[in-house]
Structure 1
Amino acid sequence: GTIDQASLSAVLAGTVTKTYNGNTTASLASNNFTLTGVVGSDDVEVSPTSGTYATANAGTGIGVSVSGLTLTGTAAGNYTLTTTSLSGNIGTINQASLSAVLAGTVTKTYNGNTTASLASNNFTLTGVVGSDDVEVSPTSGTYATANAGTGIGVSVSGLTLTGTAAGNYTLTTTSLSGNIGTIDQAALSITASNAAKVYGQVATLSGFTASGLQNGETIGSVTLTSAGQVATAGVAGSPYAIIASNATGGTFDASNYDITYNDGALVVSPAILTATAATTTKIYGAAVPVLGYSLSGWQNGDQATTTTTGVVVSTTATTASGVGSYLTTASGGTITGAAAANYVLAYATGTLAVNPAALTVTASNASKTYGADITLNGSSGFTVAGLVNGDSVTSVSLSSSGSTATTGVGTYGIAASDAQGSGLANYTIAYVDGVLTVNPAALLVTATNATKTYGNGLTLDGMTGFTAVGLLNSDSVASVTLASSGTAATAGAGSYGIVASNALGSGLGNYTITYVEGTMTVTPRPITVAANDATMTAGSAIPPLTWTIALGNLVNGDTLTGGLATSATSSSTAGRYPILQGTLAASVNYDLTYVPGTLTVRQNNSQTPQEIVTLITASTPTSRFVQTSASSAGVVFDTGSTSGSDTGNGSGASSAAESTGSQATPGEGSDSGCTGGATASASCTATPHPQNTRVGRFLRFSRLQ
């Protein structure tokens, strides 16, 4: 029989895998085929064969195609393939491994950082298939240092492959390093800054500019030198080179730079020689002084060899210029001498201060009397010293605490102020006080006259016993001391001064007190001496004639002198004879009133005296009447008697008779002193009338019958 071969259908199965090698050859194994239609466990399979990848590039799911397929196995003859060509996306091409190393030199110019820029030629790859387009992608690396140098370590990481075949490869490492780095020095240009100085100064050179510094670096300092730097460098050599060198410091490192130094220029300009007009003063009214000037700004001791000539100083001030400040101005002139070229002349103003002149205004002295007002005359009551330029003082204000009427005696300042006039703003005015003298007012204190009777003491009343004339301002004299030698009881009759002194009161220090004496009149002490009546017989001796002090009394141990007398003699005929005062006397300190007595001469009653008594009919007699003269003793009165006798002048001479007396103080009887029996009083005991006598209410006239 014919047993036709059974048809088997085959499909690709599994994965056909290889590492990229640059071709499309695919090597399939029997397990890459799945047969359908095999009977039982027949030994039949597709013979392993080479196929073709759809692409040579690495990848998965790559189409694989095979053709010319045959069957193998013990049962292969029993079967036939329905197709000898198959294809399917079962191919996988794995990437090939590449190893890389750094190569060449990585170079840059110093820029202050460690960034390295690598190119593809800085990498060498091992394992590239044929001429595949594959290389390490250019990338940034890192220098081991930022400083300039060679053989510097460079490291890179994160390497990747590029090129059309890059996808077919994988790097064995993505990080590389190697000493392939070179950092060249950067170009740095340092230029000294231009400078200027004035002749005589030492220039401070510190300025420079730098071009080319990297990464914000700085230069700390640069050495700068110049021949023009010293103080003595003159203008003639200007400008002077400023040489820069030796840059250092800061944050830069000179070894990283190729430094170029560039000179600067130092310009020396002339120093300013200043002619300063003098600053001075003058007093208002004085002539303008000669004005000079001073030079400032000399350098290096040049004043020894250099000077100025022709400088003129002027001012607008004159002798008459008022107080104030006036400019002094220098101008003109030239600089001459060895260093003249190093200077230029400048000018500064000065000041002429016109200061106030001294003016003294003195208040004139004045005086017034206490109690008077005074008006101080501000138009004339002063003197001035120091006025110039026709200036004047027309008035000042004058004041004094002593100007009022009530101001006490003393000296008071007269204050001058507020001078008015012309030009006075140009003076410093000193006011000098005058003196207002308040002189004492005249006060006349007069002791009041006083009277007393000898033998009486008197106390002078210092509170009332005076008068004061001239008191002012309610001042008063309260008392004065009064003294008189006539106040004593022993002071004899006469006139004595009453001396006033030591006035006391208010305000009396303001007076010149004149004391005027009063008069102390010591009047004689009135004393009435009455002769005691006596009786004798005709032919007998005159009896002692005695007396009695009828009124008053003797004081201070005084006595009467002398004795009484009578015209009767031992041979007188019977009758009444007056007993006369004779030589009986008191001192001048007494006003002695003598009341005669009667000496009755009895002679055998051959003579009888007749008495005439007349009744006073007046209701109020005003006088006492008494006979006091011994030479006209026709009428006799005995005070206190209420009866009288008529006597007459005896014929015949009086005989010396002893006269004695006694002092008594008789008074008038209760009714004997006043007419009509009225009670005795001062009104009926007035001064005796010289021609009549009174006894009580009776007038008595006696005549010898």
Structure 2
Amino acid sequence: SATGSFSGFSGLISGDVVSLDGSALFAFADKNVGSGKTVTISGLSLTGADAGNYTIASATSATAAITPKTLTVSAAADDKVYDGTTSATGSFGGFSGLISGDVVSLDGSALFAFADKNAGSGKTVSVSNIGLSGTDAGNYVIASTASSTAAITPKTLTVSATADDKVYDGTTSATGSFSGFSGLISGDVVSLDGSALFAFADKNAGSGKTVSVSNIGLSGTDAGNYVIASTASSTAAITPKTLTVSATADDKVYDGTTSATGSFGAFSGLISGDMVSLDGSALFAFADMNAGSGKTVNVSNIGLSGTDAGNYAIASSLTTTASITPKTLTVNALAASMIYGDAMPGLSFTVTGYAGSDNMSLMTGALSTSGGSGSNAGTYAISQGSLSAGGNYQIAFTGADLVINRRAVTVTANNLTRPEDVANPLLTYALTSGSLVAGDSFTGALATSAGLSSPIGTYLISQGSLALNSNYDLTFVPGTLTISGEIVMPQIFTPQAYESQPPLATPEGVPSQSCQVGGGGGGVYPCNRTFGPWLSAQAE
């Protein structure tokens, strides 16, 4: 189909009224676009008052162009995730202006591109290089460019968080670090903004505990093109906090064991408000059982209890010092006695107050006294002397006395006889009971009332001045001196058993180790060399 117009008639007589009746038809030779195309005109007819007077050729031709029809098409750009480029994709709607039946399509060469690479919404997307294809594509034109809008959504970055282990501090606060981004486009400048917060699920000590990471944010030139999950999680350990505590051991009196008691000071390192105490299982023990000052005391089995005990650790052992003072033993000396001149008796004592299995075997040294076998009769104090129970004991000593009793001696006067009118013989005696200590001797002499002129009769021989020193208890048994009218033969006396050696030379006819006593003109001989005085005798 074509349209056209006609110019004025050629050959029309002036004044005649003739016009075309409008039924003429224009038609291109074909439908396709082209220039100088032949247009055939048919169906020409005349009208008007003078139309009958004329004829017009029924067909003629002209030339004209069929220009391409403009198509319009809508473009829809696709949203995309930020990828650091302006590249875009999209699609087209149906053609507007396409004549039904014509075969025309887009040739697929169109290019979509964002105005810039950055993330944003409602961003302009230009569409270029739009082309047509198909049988009838030559009959159409279409704008080679178009525009649309789409969004570049921020690209999601992922980052791994690593929480740090910490020592229990009574809070859920945590620290940590991040590894490199996953998904960051090379060349983009993005970093974490440092606002991230790490927090444990609870404050209590434990291993593999969940740590939440929140408020993760980005900074940097290209930060707006990315998003990152604002939360993450990791795991870490809260290790128990170490508490310290001081121990004070109690001094004690030696008891034969290493057992000890003591107390503890306040905790150092306990977080305010936490409920923790010692569980009472701690054991105090001296390094050894012996008395001493500043001795090491080992404290073991220290444990914790309380609501928050699991959040703390404490050294299970420590040391301190204390003293073990000597235990008091009560030692009582036992009274002792002896006879003057006898051997010293052993000094003994009783002991009370031993600890445990300790016994008398610990005692060393001996009691002492100033009295002894060479001491005079009397009372002598018994003192502690060198007696000791060792370093684990101190002795509370109660003394006693050593009594040296006087030595009992009995002296019996010898019964004597003499004739009348003769001088009294030497008055002699015998030691009939007891003995003298070496070096001691009698003093004085026996006595009698008989004299030279005393008549015949019996006279008492008394002790006279005979005596021993104060160390003796002397008992005297008197004898008699008989004055008779007869001549009395000399009496021979056997030496006392206490003589240590035979007497000196004896006169002829006098037995050895004897002493002759009587009148006449004999010699003088010793009769009691060891314990008595020299005695005089006349040998007949």
Larger Cα-atom Rg: 1
TM-score range, shorter chain: 0.3 to 0.5
Is the strand fraction higher in 1 or 2?
1
Normalised TM-score (structure 1): 0.36
